[in-house]
Amino acid sequence: MQKRIGAAVLAAAAVALTFTGAAHAETNPRCSTGVTQIGSTKYLKSGNTTVASVKQFKGCGKNWGYIYVWDSWKSGHPNVEASVAITRGDGDIDIANGRRGQQEVWSTGANTLRFCTMAHGIVDGVGQTFTNEVC
């Protein structure tokens, strides 16, 4: 009986790890001293399927937008195109377009730390989403 419970616990833990989106560590290629996420993560969905995670970061004196296309979506859509931007509500001011098939895209960095901003993530053919505004 104890072996069955132990196996069930291990199986449940494996399933939980499979469905978390948090295993991917973001490394900003343009800010070597590191970045800190500000605000909450927003998920872009197609129906009930999560397509991408969109986040906003601060670091190196700038705001950064970040989008990560989930493995589960990319595997069925290898030519996905994703973009991310920092927006101040009156339009995108710092946008980066990923290459076809690129899974992770960072914006170029906006000098907007003194403003209220959001990250704006787009996946072509799916839609767009915005993180919460951070001031």
Query: 16 pLDDT exceeds 60?
Result: no
The kind and range of the H/E element at 10 are helix 2-19
pLDDT in tens, 39-76: 999 999 999 999 999 999 999 999 999 999 999 999 99
pLDDT in tens, 93-124: 888 999 999 999 999 999 999 999 999 999 99
Question: CA neighbours within 13 Å on the CB side: how many for 72?
Answer: 12
Which pLDDT value is given to residue 24?
Answer: 53
pTM value surpassing 0.95:
no
CATH 2.60.40, applies to 28-130: yes
